[in-house]
Amino acid sequence: MQTVNIGILGLGTVGGGTAQVLRDNAAEIARRLGRNVSVFMVSTRNVGKAFKVCPDALFTTDPFEVVAHPDVDIVVELFGGSETAKDLVLQAIENGKHVVTANKKLLAEHGNEIFALAAKKNVMVHFEAAVAGGIPIIKALREGMSANRIKSVAGIINGTSNFILTQMREQGQSFADALKLAQSLGYAEADPTFDIEGHDAGHKITIMSALAFGTPVNFGACYLEGISRLESRDIKYAEELGYRIKLLGITRQTEAGIELRVHPTLIPECRLLASVEGVMNAVRVDADMVGETLYYGAGAGALPTASAVVADIIDISRMIGADTANRVPYLAFRADNVREQPLLPMDDIVSSYYLRVRAADRAGVLGGIANLLAEQGISIEALIQKAVLDDNQAEIVILTHSTVERNIKAAINAINAHECVSAPVVMIRMESLAQTR
């Protein structure tokens, strides 16, 4: 039986998991693939771990030795970050290696360059593990939905944030306390910025947007708003109104251009996405022929992520020797058909909104605020006035109907300037996630 030689760059959590999956399920994989997959070489600073999980591999502390080794067929980049990783991946491609990577940052920021070189050097680059861990969402978007024009993708794609939001809702914890718990459980880094401010979700939705709509990756155009300023009162008010707040990555094809954004979002509690709790991930795809489909699973963790890495290794191994025309294109669309499309500025997106206004509890205030919304052509779907606070203040929670973001911002500016309003308006976007077929 033919053997495919793997070179793994980085033997951390996912690298170790990958070696473990390839070892523990070697027989099952060979039963499917008809080829053996061997961890041939590994770059790591932890030789002890390497001995444990892949004792037969060559070890090196220099990852560039792996990408240069003539006997390596597939380079698995689990190095992380984007600068050295980029050099390693480009070097691997230059050397004619196929590449599997779980590096969302690398692909969202440098994917176009990487795919261009890969096309030139005629190698495969797979990245199932870069989005939503073990969920085969890249394959679903790239192959499962290939008969469709995809209309939108919306996902809970950062487990850290979803864990924090679940804690805030279920336990009534503050953001700070929930974050501390996430850190103590190993779900959040010491510096959690990347997860909680939406960067990680932004990288993932950027990749899915390119796959869905056949555009180059364009992370620079992705709007990022995290969960660090969310207050548990908003989660509670949303729940009273029948909604959950989730950090969503959203991308949508509209006539005017593509929406690409990450932000906390109110979604109706009856939607499946609303029931995705803790560190789990889920991605909802709306497409013209199939309608709504949803994919759920573990978005992180050594073995779930390794499951996706190894599925990519198997896919590539199976296609070694096939013609380029037989391959699924890197970004679902053939390179000559990948086209720039305008990305909508946030002012131009259409959404409905949750607003929380703190104002003096005085006759006429409510009407005044409603008028300021009406002046921007914004109609109100629901309004509740919440328990009076200190100093004769009340909180007014408003759900609006759909409007252009520019208008809601103008209305918010006007409300903030109202003499009875005592704190800046809190605004959270809403998505109905309704079936559109």
72 and 52 Cβ atoms separated by less than 8 Å:
no
What is the Cα–Cα distance from 101 to 89, expressed in whole angstroms?
9
Count of residues that bind its own copies according to CB under 8 A: 67
Nearest residue (CB) to its own copies, 148 versus 254: 148
Q: What angle do CA 196, 351, 420 make, to 5 degrees?
A: 85
The residue range among 222-230, 248-256, 299-307, 340-348 that interacts with its own copies, by the rule CB under 8 A, is: 299-307
* 204 carries an active-site annotation: yes
Among 310, 411, 426, 427, binds its own copies (CB under 8 A): 310
386 labeled part of a ligand binding site: no
Chain positions 71 to 90 lying near its own copies, rule: CB under 8 A, are none
67: Cβ contacts below 8 Å, ≥ 6 apart = 7, 9, 75, 88, 91, 92, 95, 97
The stretch among 140-148, 154-162, 236-244, 417-425 that binds its own copies (CB under 8 A) is 140-148
Closer residue to its own copies (CB): 47 or 335: 335
Q: Which of 50, 128, 158 is nearest to 307 (CA)?
A: 128
Q: Is 104 annotated as a binding residue?
A: yes
In angstroms, the CA 213 to CA 150 distance is 7
Q: Calculate the CA 252 to chain-centre distance.
A: 14
Interface region with its own copies, contact rule CB under 8 A, candidates 100-108, 141-149, 198-206, 378-386? 141-149
Count of beta carbons in the 10 Å neighbourhood of residue 317: 24
Pairing of strands 150-156, 280-287: antiparallel
Using the rule CB under 8 A, which residue among 145, 188, 366, 408 binds its own copies? 145
Among 74, 75, 130, 135, binds its own copies (CB under 8 A): 135
Q: Where do runs of H (alpha helix) occur along 294-394?
A: 302-319, 365-375
Q: Is 332 in the site for its own copies (CB under 8 A)?
A: yes
Q: Do residues 203 and 108 lie in contact, with contact meaning Cβ atoms separated by under 8 Å?
A: yes
**Which chain residues interact with its own copies by CB under 8 A?**
17, 21, 24-25, 28-29, 31-34, 128, 134-136, 139-140, 143-149, 214, 270, 272, 275-276, 287-298, 301, 303-304, 306-311, 313-315, 318-319, 321-323, 325-329, 332-334, 337, 437
Q: Which residues are annotated as a binding site for NADPH?
A: 104
Q: Which residues are annotated as a binding site for L-homoserine?
A: 189
Q: Provide the annotated active-site residues.
A: 204
